[in-house]
Structure 1
Amino acid sequence: MKKSTTGLLLGSALVVGLSGCASSASQSSMESSASADAWYQHPFVCGLAGGLIGGGIGYASSGESDEDQGAAIGTTAGATIGAMLCADTSPAPVEPAPRDTDGDGVIDADDQCPGTPAGVAVDAVGCPLDSDNDGVPDYQDQCPGTPAGAEVNALGCEEDLVLRDVNFEFDSATLTMGAEQILDGVAEKLRANRNVRVRIEGHTDSVGSDAYNQQLSQERADSVADYLSSQGVARDRMQTTGYGEAQPVATNDTDAGRAENRRVELGEWE
């Protein structure tokens, strides 16, 4: 057989054989990653086959004087082409990013308190911070800094909370601007603690008649409840009571004592 004919046949074998390897490699990349590639799909095997066929082509295509050189060039080229055709060029699988459903910075797999409201500070295991360890998370706690071991109510307080600096215009139930700012913080925690109902109690000093003080204290308690309601706290979660001057916490004989008696208290409504 003439060399030219031999070269043509070997060239055809190279194209057909290596194309088959490449097709097999491409198909295998689409199959499950769990299945192992067949041995003949390995780039080394394809390279070896390509080298043999390429060497034959180089030998058959060369003249009498450069047969060895032609075979060497053919072997190198065939091995390179064969290995490239059978190489798996499919992209590496992308691992899914860990999920953090509640967006608190702790992935779901490690989160012991899933569903934390957005923006709430959490600890290393994804649970809302409870700085005073009273069982009421900081974002719901109306009395942060409760002494360790103290028994608290659902508001996080040992007893009713005096809403200090919640003041009113002179001789009226109109809240001052400073009072509204304080109540904004109270409302925020009550919105976060939707399972608790509250009592709002109004108190006055002894200046004026009993009947007048009773009415004024009720109006002031209602004014606080109305403002909290305007800030998103359901009105049916609040009970208001005016006690007038009947429950002083200090003497009414001094300015300082009377100021203490003019107060609004917040407590759990059980």
Structure 2
Amino acid sequence: MDVLRSSKFFLTALALFLLGGCATSGPWYDDWRNCAMAGAAAGGAIAGAADDSDAAIGGAVGGAIIGGLICAATDQSPADSDGDGVPDEQDQCPATPLGAKVDAVGCELDSDGDGVVDRLDQCPNTPRGTKVDKRGCPLPVAAVVMDSDKDGVPDDRDFCPDSEPGVTVNEIGCDSTRPTLLRGVNFETNSANLTGNSDDILNDAADRLKLYPDVKIEIVGHTDSRGAEAYNKDLSMRRAKSVQDYLISKGVKPSNLKSIGLGEEYPLVSNDTADGRRQNRRVEIRVIQ
């Protein structure tokens, strides 16, 4: 009878062991659970031979513990230090954070290829080749700064964007050796009243001068040689002052501007022709220290 009971216990444990072994992949001894059941079967059967149910139970428990420990000690499965499913010997990123999704070589996924892994990427669909920050989001695109005349002053700040090559320019981008002509600024005959498209030219001049809050500008008025010299000097002064007042009305600092009139003293060309006299009636600006 004892043998029968022992046999039944052994067969029951063996059946559980076989069922457990079938539920695992690979050799049965690669899984500690199989080893534990095998130990339980053996321990329970041996102790059960004494016809003592308590002894059988104790033997099964002891056998399970011993079997599991032996199996664990002889475990031949490849090491996987970071638990990502890729054995250490194949893992090119052996310190992957627990739970991170990895590729076939054990490295974290970077779906958009921007150098920031998906786990940290706040912009996961960045187009290929886009430069990104540490969050994986596109970096701001730097504006292209144009400098058409290559004088070191950007076009949007250059008062003279077509300076001759090699010319030394001042702070506002104009030839530092001579005054800058406000071409197109005209006045009514014998008057300081602005005409034509003078407003457009002076509006642009004001916008550029406001970019240089510390630059001092002198506005210089000129006339042709017709009329009395004293009258022409006064007229040139009034015209320079008209330009100064206009620039101030558009936001240029008053303390940055001064005006003078030179009358007919410094003609650009001869006053013998109508075209020459037209060119000599002008307003110029120059940077002063």
TM-score (norm 1): 0.55
Structure 1 residues 209 and 135 mapped into 2: Cα distance closer, same or farther (>3 Å)? same
Q: Residue 141 in 1 paired to residue 158 in 2?
A: yes
Counterparts of 2:283 and 2:162, CA distance in 1: 21
Shift of 1:37: 4.7
1:152 corresponds in structure 2 to 169
Check conservation: 2:213, 2:253, Cα contact below 8 A: no
SS of 2:156's equivalent? Answer: helix
User: 1:194 deviation in Å?
Assistant: 2.7
Q: Which residue of 1 aligns with 2:224?
A: 205
Please tell me whether the aligned partners of residues 141 and 156 of structure 1 are also in contact (alpha carbons under 8 angstroms): yes
Q: Please list every run of at least 4 consecutive aligned residues from structure 1 whose deviation after the TM superposition is greater than 4 angstroms.
A: none
2:116 aligned with 1:94: no
The 1-side partners of 2:174 and 2:99 are apart by 67
RMSD: 2.4
Letter in 1 for 2:151: D
More helix by share: 1
Aligned residue number for residue 238 of structure 1: 257
Deviation readout 1:50-88 (Å, 9 max, x if unpaired): xxxxxxxxxxxxxxxxxxxxxxxxxxxxxxxxxxxxxxx
Query: Once the two structures are aligned, what percentage of the paired residues are identical?
Result: 43
- How many angstroms apart in 1 are the aligned matches of 2:216 and 2:278? 28
Larger gyration radius, structure 1 or structure 2: 2
User: What SS is found at the alignment partner of 2:210?
Assistant: helix
**Equivalent of residue 284 in structure 2, options 239, 259, 265:** 265
TM-score, normalized by length of structure 2?
0.52
Contact 1:155–1:267 under 8 Å retained in 2 = no
The 8 Å contact of residues 224 and 280 in structure 2, kept in 1 or not, is answered as yes
Tell whether the 8 Å contact from 2:151 to 2:169 is kept in structure 1 after alignment. Answer: yes
Quote the offset at 1:167 in angstroms.
0.2
Q: CA deviation at 1:239?
A: 1.6
- Residue 220 of structure 1 and its aligned partner are, at CA, apart by 0.4
- Cα distance between partner residues in 1 of 2:202 and 2:195: 11
SS at match of 2:159: coil
